[in-house]
Amino acid sequence: MKSGNLGYPRIGRNREWKKALEAFWSGKLGEEEFHAELKAIRLGNLKTQQERGIDLIPVGDFTYYDQVLDTSTMFGLVPSRFQYDGGVPTLELYYALARGNKEATACEMTKWFNTNYHYIVPELGGIEPKLTINRPLAAYREAKAELGINARPVLLGLYTFLKLSKGYGQEELESWIGKLLPLYKQILSELVEEGVQWVQIDEPILATTLGDRDLELIAALYEELTSAVPGINIQLQTYFEAVDYYEAVTALPVQGIGLDFVHDGGRNLASVIKHGFPSDKVLGAGLIDGRGIWRADLGEKLELLGKLAGIVSPDRIIVQPSSSLLHVPVSAAGEYGLDSVLREALAFAEEKLNEIAILAKGGRAGAEAVAAEVAASKASREALNQSPSRARTEVHRRIADLASQPSARPSYTAVRREAQRKRWNLPLLPTTTIGSFPQTPEVRSARQKWRKGEWSNEQYEGFVNEQIQTWIGIQEELGLDVLVHGEFERNDMVEFFGEKLDGFAFTSGGWVQSYGSRCVKPPIIFGDVELPAPMTVTETVYAQSLTKLPVKGMLTGPITILNWSFVRDDKPREEVAYQIALALREEVEALEAAGIGMIQVDEPAMREGLPLKREYWAHYLEWTVKAFRLSTSTVKDETQIHTHMCYSEFHDIIESISALDADVISIETSRSHGELVGSFEEFTYDKEIGLGVYDIHSPRVPSVGEMTSMIDRALRVLPPELFWINPDCGLKTRKQEETVAALRIMVEATVKAREKY
């Protein structure tokens, strides 16, 4: 029985990776030094895995930005707007695809399955793919030469890659398989020549809903791949949910199958028990949670492993995480700021490597060989369960009494709209922003000083108020209609709230990559959630005191707080969501009582929590909509509830989004180049809506013409009297000049549109 890993966080223990990328982008780090820094991080990661006793170490999972972008650039799939000459893509081109440049807009970015990791969507279009560079081979050679590791290269599987790509029609799917297959063959042949025995091919698409035709195509493609490159052993890796086509998948002509035994709802195990497992294949047993941060109960895991070993020959089992460890922070070793009971119950990537090694050892030598580790893991979990933070009686009482909590606004949308129109009398096509304004180095350093105690509360609050004042002035001068306070007091839209709510804890270094160099530090929801005091009233009321125009209050919604946190695993997520919702309801009520008449409750993460398989969607949507409504339903008719979402695949959950019953919704649109608008051709959305008219992820300031065409496209489908004009998302990552310039153009485009409609 061996231990294996599927992927490792690339960001480094102290986010060295992020810092290097940003230094390179800003010109502070030369290309050569940049390569050297990234190499040091990459090798350091491999060494850690080696030292912690992992037998099968992945290579090729490390990236300069995103592993999907690595795959598309490896195949020379560069959209024509980037003037690509066909050679090995340069770093400049690579980053232009991800971030845009002066001439071309960036490629679309979207969430990786049901995670908060974002990948760059490959655009296939009319391009002929070719192998520009064999990345897995380069990674393999490096690990061998530098550290003597005989690593297992990772590739993104062909079928998943195609399914995540855009720019081709369904009828071209087969021809695209035909175009890419030779490239996969070439990669694998070159690996075999180099002496590689095993590769890991990730096909997480196998955990989603697939049709018979998909399964046929997948079977045919792996048939062709393995017969063309007979020397290679493929571990076909699935993760994030169960494989419901178990028999078809285990019959594929590959040498190993990796299954997730953590996020499978017990279904993968049930399939193995029911159908057995092919005796000529290796089972990658995903036992350690690659997505969560809790220490495993190793006794339970050993039991599960024992069940598997009763069916699969133990020498054909690899103990591994349920998915790449990309989704968890690097190390819990330095978390001395946490309560020791909590700290002892945590396992980040490094600690998970230990758990994997312990389980593999227990699998080989018997449970007695690891008895001490098993007992320690159980004790740590029990201590947390017993802690007072999980025994807040008032929270338990309210949850038990959920049926009597209001979960719908008392009046219909149209009635509320009347009341709200009367109250504000906004112009046609009102303009607003999504909440945050630039978090400049000045803003961040002020927060640091305050956190370190160098600044008093008064000093920091004074600074935040100055920022608010400046930006209320800027917004008025720009001519925006609905203002925001700018979120200067917030580091992150979830962390900020978590810090003020009971039941949350914060690590000092628990970062995970969200997209590109952007990392987030998800809070840990370890106890029952309660609101001890209002969280946002002071700043919002201050902002409102400076202007006659309406200022929107700004909260993060219950589902987003849940989905962007690491959540306790002793209760259903649904129940934790209701706890958060009830706490947020108190905040909404406090804002309303303080005279704030528009309150935005952001739910950018609602969609990403959707189960991968459609049959489980309805249940998830039901409880998430209920949680949102629990937090927003007690306000008066004339109080306008806004919400915001950062994605554009909207059509398939539009009914649930409508069911949130927010008076106004703003949605990211521009990066998917208007595709979203099509959703409204089929579904009549009867609430107010703002489709983002420019991309805030890029430093590029768009032209009036570009924004006008976004507005025109939307207004071909949506009634102008329901339409708002706003950027795609918050502006915290942008510079002040860019922000002001872009908003000025947005207002200009709005003025033009008002003349027209």
In contact, 231 and 194? CB cutoff 8 Å: no
Question: Binding residue per annotation — 436?
Answer: yes
x-marked contacts with ligand GLN along 474-503 as a string, rule CB under 6 A: -------------x-----x----------
Is 608 flagged in the annotation as binding? Answer: yes
d(CA 282, CA 237): 11
Contact 700, 105 (CB under 8 A): yes
Give the whole-angstrom CA distance, residue 202 versus residue 159.
9
Interface stretch with Zn ion, choices 29-37, 51-59, 417-425, 725-733 (CB under 5 A): 725-733
Exposure string for 722-738, b = 16+ CB within 10 A, e = fewer: ebbbbbbbbbbebeeeb
Helix, strand, coil percent content, the chain, rounded in steps of 5: 50, 15, 40
Among 93-101, 429-437, 499-507, 616-624, the segment contacting ligand GLN (CB under 6 A): 429-437
In the list ligand GLN, Zn ion, none, the entry touching 732 (Cβ below 5 to 8 angstroms by class) is: ligand GLN
263 labelled catalytic: no
Total chain residues near ligand GLN (CB under 6 A)? 13
Q: Can residue 493 be called a binding residue for Zn ion (CB under 5 A)?
A: no
Q: Is 17 annotated as belonging to a binding site?
A: yes
Cβ distance to ligand GLN smaller for residue 263 or 732: 732
Contacting residue, 89, 286, 604, 727, with Zn ion by CB under 5 A: 604
Nearer to ligand GLN, 564 or 566 (CB): 564
State how far the alpha carbon of 530 is from the alpha carbons of 394, 421, 574, in Å.
Answer: 9, 34, 16
Question: Tell me, what DSSP letter sits at residue 204?
Answer: G
Indicate the helix (H) or strand (E) that contains 189.
helix 173-194
- Asked if 604 touches ligand GLN (CB under 6 A), the answer is yes
Q: Looking at 353, 646, 660, 662, which residue binds Zn ion (CB under 5 A)?
A: 646
Q: Report the first-to-last Cα separation within the chain, whole angstroms.
A: 69
| Stretch touching ligand GLN by CB under 6 A, among 52-60, 69-77, 286-294, 724-732 | 724-732
Position 729 contacts ligand GLN (CB under 6 A): yes
What minimum distance in Å lies between the beta carbon of 677 and ligand GLN? 20
How far is residue 599's CA from residue 616's CA, in Å, rounded to a whole number? 31
Determine if 527 is a binding residue for ligand GLN (CB under 6 A). Answer: no
Report the C-alpha gap between 718 and 685 in whole angstroms. 9
CB of 540 to ligand GLN, least distance (A): 12
Q: Is 626 annotated as a binding residue?
A: no
**Beta carbons within 8 Å of 19's beta carbon, 6+ residues apart:** none
Residues with Cβ < 8 Å from 304, sequence gap 6 or more? 261, 269, 287
> Where do runs of H (alpha helix) occur along 195-320?
212-228, 246-250, 267-275, 298-309
Q: Is 424 assigned a ligand-binding role in the annotation?
A: no
Q: How far apart are CA 424 and CA 548, in angstroms?
A: 10
Stretch that binds Zn ion, among 284-292, 308-316, 437-445, 640-648 (CB under 5 A): 640-648
Tokens of 736: 């002040």
> Least distance to Zn ion from the beta carbon of 607, Å?
12
Pick from 291, 381, 409, 732 the residue near ligand GLN by CB under 6 A: 732
Q: Which of 118, 263, 642, 697 is catalytic?
A: 697
Interaction of residue 607 with ligand GLN, rule CB under 6 A: no
CB of 424 to Zn ion, least distance (A): 23
DSSP 8-state assignment for residue 230: T
Look up residue 464 and give its two tokens. 């935040």
Question: Looking at the annotation, which residues are catalytic?
Answer: 697
Q: Annotated binding site for Zn(2+), which residues?
A: 644, 646, 668, 729
| Residues near ligand GLN, by CB under 6 A | 434-436, 487, 493, 554, 602, 604, 644, 646, 729-730, 732
Q: Annotated binding site for L-homocysteine, which residues?
A: 434-436, 487, 602
| Residues near Zn ion, by CB under 5 A | 604, 646, 729
